[in-house]
């Protein structure tokens, strides 16, 4: 089955589908330091129960499409409650198959190199 044959977001009969969603959300009207707002978003991400990785430039969340989009939406709703302007960047890697890619993608590169990397 090709991409054109498959309905949107359908992994296929008996298959699972997981996305890695990387997002960065920043209030534009709250000055230079935004750690208070980032912390509030990370509290939402952490309480979601989904696997995630915090990086200096954003957060990566792993789960089914609806799950990860619900997390981003909750973060946005919390931020817009007291921020008049919010900048959001989102990158999504969809792949039919099992989860665990948040860790396995990094592990595969480290295995090829034969050493641990700073992650």
Q: What pLDDT digit, counting tens, does each position of 30-89 carry?
A: 888 889 999 999 999 999 999 999 999 999 999 999 999 999 999 999 999 999 999 999
pLDDT of residue 1: 46
pLDDT of residue 11: 54
Residue 106 domain-assigned? yes
Domain, as residue range, for 26: 17-113
Helix (H, G, I), strand (E, B) or coil at 2: coil
pLDDT of residue 65: 95
Write the CATH number for 68: 3.30.70.930
Q: Read off the pTM.
A: 0.81
Give, in order, the Cα–Cα distances in Å from 110 to each of 15, 56, 102, 114. Answer: 28, 21, 13, 6
The more confidently predicted of residues 66 and 4 is 66
pLDDT of residue 97: 85
pLDDT band, residue 13 (cuts 50/70/90): low
Considering its fold, how many domains does the chain have in total? 1
Contacts of 46 (CB under 8 A, 6+ apart): 52
């Amino acid at each position: 089955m090709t991409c054109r044959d498959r309905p949107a977001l359908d992994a296929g009969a008996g298959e699972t589908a997981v996305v890695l969603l990387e997002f960065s959300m920043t209030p534009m009207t709250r000055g230079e330091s935004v750690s208070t707002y980032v912390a509030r978003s990370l509290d939402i991400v952490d309480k979601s129960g989904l696997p995630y990785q915090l990086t200096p430039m954003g957060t990566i969340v792993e789960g089914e499409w609806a799950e990860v989009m619900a997390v981003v939406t909750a973060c946005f709703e919390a931020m817009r409650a007291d921020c008049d302007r919010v900048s959001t960047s989102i990158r999504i890697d969809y792949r039919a198959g099992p989860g665990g890619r948040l860790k396995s993608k990094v592990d595969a590169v480290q295995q090829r190199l034969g050493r641990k990397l700073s992650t």
